[in-house]
């Protein structure tokens, strides 16, 4: 949610930003908010003036009574009672207007960074840099599900019986390899100075709407029937929510945390949710990182955060690239975002394994996360980044470490978590 001062002082900037995101249907919201805000401030001023007048007149009543001027005092008392009714009426109007303004403000997208390329959708995202040489061996690399099944590591038939499409059982050394990657990712981030946390896996609706847009919420979140609780789609949500309605000490900034969690996603409209593999599923595990910092430090942290993910994947012998997300591919709360994509030697192309975003003070403004410094109280900036998502990272590792004889090499950094094993086969 943007600062309403932007609409008061620079409507054209807000409208131009909406156009860059190709959301022209939201343009009328800017004028609606502007007009509603004018009315709100006018009514608020009238209410404040009446409250001040009421207080002044109330003091006069006491003075008149002490002076024995009872009739005058009663006359003013009747007048003050009328003020009270009018103040209550104005208060209700204030509340109604405030809700109307908030409803529209929650839909107006955040102001994107000037460096974000303008484009309609993810097909217009821009490659930034490649890390490691993408390699295609002379022998054929099978589909990842076939590789894992031959290693007795995947059972989707049983998960179809227990849970339906989009679920899976990982077994044996493959399940251990998945856990090894997550453990390595955890220790990797702890070594970077991040505090490790296991957060709640369910959060309330006011946290969900604080960290993401309504469109994202509808497409991703599973709701617990009969309760005000949602299963998290990523631990970023509960991690940021941890600071809801708090004033954190400026001396504690930046707050850097890394978290483990299972993740649950509806994947509404997703293509291939019924495929045999584990690329797009309803459930996976993830190591995440978040940062709360001063606004002027946000971009430095953004660049650090995605570089950590690149480093981690390169340590597992997986070539990756970074892709700058264009304006039309950015979720409404994001200021700037990039994807980390891993190389698939089977498909001879890259695929997404992580995403890094800076959101300015949009989440903090929605959730009331502030800090207090010499310049007064202000909203912090929030950032998040995928360290490692289990299923997609597993696909990338298996394809890039697959041998012609059907075995899979275990990268050196993971071998201590695999009991010293050097390969699966």
Please write the tens of the pLDDT for every residue from 126-160.
999 999 999 999 999 999 999 999 999 999 999 99
Same structural domain, 163 and 58: no
User: Stretch 377-383: mean pLDDT, rounded?
Assistant: 97
Total count of domains within the chain: 2
What does residue 128 show for φ and ψ, rounded to 5 degrees?
-100, -55
Determine the pLDDT at residue 374. 87
160-177 pLDDT tens trace: 999 998 999 999 999 999
Percent share of the chain, pLDDT over 90:
83
386, part of any domain: yes
- Rounded to a whole number, what is the largest CA-CA distance in the chain? 107
Q: How far apart are CA 12 and CA 14, in angstroms?
A: 5
Residue 254 shares a structural domain with residue 227: yes
Structure confidence at residue 51 as a pLDDT band (50, 70, 90): confident
CATH number of the domain residue 25 falls in: 1.10.287.40
Asked if residue 135 and residue 63 are part of one domain, the reply reads no
pLDDT at 52: 82
pLDDT of residue 271: 56
| Nearest of 290, 272, 294 to residue 281 by alpha carbon | 272
For residue 125, pLDDT beyond 90:
yes
* CA neighbor of 424 nearest in space, from 396, 394, 402: 402
Name the β-bridge partners of 154. Answer: 170
Work out the average pLDDT over 190-210: 96
Please report, rounded to a whole number, the percentage of residues in the chain having pLDDT higher than 70.
94
**Number of Cβ within a 10 Å radius of residue 208:** 23
Q: Are residues 240 and 384 in the same domain?
A: yes
Point out which residues pair with 263 in neighbouring strands. Answer: 284
| Strands in 307-374 per DSSP E | 320-324, 336-344, 349-358, 370-373
Is the same domain home to 129 and 90? no
- Cα separation, 250 vs 365, whole angstroms: 16
pLDDT grade, residue 87 (50/70/90)?
A: confident
Cβ neighbours of residue 255 closer than 8 Å, sequence gap 6 or more: 243, 248, 291, 292, 293
The single-letter DSSP state of residue 141 is P
Residue 61's pLDDT band, with cuts at 50, 70 and 90, is: low
Orientation of helix 172-191 relative to helix 298-315, angle to 10°: 140
Does residue 335 sit in the same domain as residue 382?
yes
Please answer whether residues 194 and 256 qualify as being in contact, where contact means their C-beta atoms are separated by less than 8 angstroms.
Answer: yes
- Same domain (yes/no): 135, 267: yes
DSSP code string of 396-423: HHHHHTB-TTS-EEPPGGGGGGGTT--E
DSSP conformational letter for 214: H
Q: What is the pLDDT at residue 375?
A: 83
Residue 273: the pLDDT is: 54
d(CA 357, CA 336): 6
Both 96 and 160 in one domain: the answer is: no
H-state helical runs in 24-171: 27-66, 70-105, 144-150, 156-162
pLDDT tens digit sequence for 11-35: 999 999 999 999 999 999 999 999 9
Neighbours of 361 (CB within 10 A): 21
Domain CATH for 324: 3.30.930.10
Domain boundary among 105, 138, 158: 105
Question: What residues contact residue 295 under an 8 Å CB cut-off, 6+ apart?
Answer: 360, 361, 378, 380, 381
Of the pLDDT bands very low, low, confident and very high (cuts 50, 70, 90), residue 232 is very high
Let me know whether 90 and 161 are in one domain.
Answer: no
Above 80 in pLDDT, residue 68? no
Query: For 321, left (φ over 0), alpha (ψ -120 to 50), or beta?
Result: beta
On whether both 194 and 74 belong to a single domain, the answer is no
Q: By residue range, what is the domain housing residue 32? A: 4-105
The alpha carbon of 334 is separated from its chain's Cα centroid by a whole number of angstroms, namely 8
Find the mean pLDDT for residues 318-331.
97
Co-location of 99 and 189 in the same domain: no
Instruction: State how far the alpha carbon of 1 is from the alpha carbons of 113, 270, 396, in Å.
Output: 15, 27, 36
Q: Is the pLDDT of residue 391 over 60?
A: yes
Question: Cβ contacts of residue 367 below 8 Å, gap of 6+?
Answer: 207, 210, 211, 240, 241, 243, 244, 245
pLDDT value for 272: 53
Which tokens go with 276?
A: 């045999």
What is the token pair recorded at 182? Answer: 């997550």
Beta bridge partners of 358: 336, 383
Q: How many residues does the chain have?
A: 425
Indicate whether 90 and 156 sit together in one domain.
no
Mean predicted lDDT score pLDDT of the chain: 93
- Specify if 30 maps to a domain: yes
For residue 5, give the H/E element and its range. helix 4-9
pLDDT of residue 275: 66
pTM > 0.85:
yes
Specify if 276 maps to a domain. yes
CA–CA distance, 289 with 307 (Å, rounded to integer): 12
C-alpha torsion 37→42→48→51, nearest 10: -130
Q: Say how many C-beta atoms besides its own lie within 10 A of residue 62's C-beta.
A: 10
Q: Which pLDDT score, from 0 to 100, does residue 270 have? A: 55
Question: Is 111 among the domain residues?
Answer: no
């Amino acid at each position: 949610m943007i600062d309403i001062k932007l609409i008061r002082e620079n409507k054209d900037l807000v409208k131009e930003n909406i156009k860059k995101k190709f959301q022209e249907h939201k343009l009328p919201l800017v004028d609606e908010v502007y007009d509603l805000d004018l009315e709100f401030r006018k009514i608020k001023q009238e209410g404040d003036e009446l409250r001040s007048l009421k207080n002044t007149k109330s003091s006069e009543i006491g003075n008149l009574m002490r002076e024995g001027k009872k009739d005058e005092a009663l006359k003013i008392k009747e007048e003050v009672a009328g003020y009270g009714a009018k103040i209550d009426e104005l208060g209700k109007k204030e509340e109604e207007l405030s809700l109307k303004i908030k409803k529209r403000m929650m839909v107006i997208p955040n102001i994107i960074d000037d460096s974000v390329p303008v484009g309609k959708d993810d097909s217009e995202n821009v490659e930034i840099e490649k890390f490691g040489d993408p390699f295609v061996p002379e022998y054929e690399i099978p589909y990842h599900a076939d590789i894992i099944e031959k290693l007795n590591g995947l059972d989707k038939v049983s998960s179809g019986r227990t849970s339906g499409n989009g679920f899976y059982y990982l077994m044996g050394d493959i399940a251990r390899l998945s856990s090894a990657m997550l453990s390595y990712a955890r220790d990797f981030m702890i070594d970077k100075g991040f505090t490790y946390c296991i957060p709640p896996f369910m959060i309330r609706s006011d946290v969900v709407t604080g960290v993401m847009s309504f469109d994202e919420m509808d497409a991703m979140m599973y709701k617990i029937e009969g309760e005000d609780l949602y299963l998290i789609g990523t631990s970023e949500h509960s991690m940021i929510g941890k600071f809801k309605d708090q004033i954190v000490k400026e001396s504690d900034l930046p707050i850097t945390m890394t978290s483990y969690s299972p993740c649950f996603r509806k994947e509404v409209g997703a293509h291939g949710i019924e495929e045999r593999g584990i690329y797009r599923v309803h459930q996976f595990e993830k190591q995440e990182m978040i940062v709360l910092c001063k606004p002027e430090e946000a971009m430095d942290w953004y660049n650090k955060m995605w570089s950590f993910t690149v480093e981690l994947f390169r340590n597992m012998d997986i070539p990756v690239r970074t892709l700058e997300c264009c304006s039309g591919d950015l979720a409404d709360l994001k200021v700037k975002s990039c994807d980390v994509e891993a190389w698939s030697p089977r498909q001879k192309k890259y695929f997404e394994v992580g995403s890094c975003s800076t959101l300015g003070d949009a989440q903090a403004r929605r959730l009331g996360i502030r800090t207090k410094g010499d310049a007064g109280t202000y909203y912090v900036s929030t950032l998040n980044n995928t360290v490692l998502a289990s299923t997609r990272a597993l696909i990338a590792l298996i394809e890039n470490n697959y041998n012609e004889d059907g075995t899979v090499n275990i990268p050196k950094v993971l071998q201590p978590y695999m009991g010293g094993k050097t390969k699966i086969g």
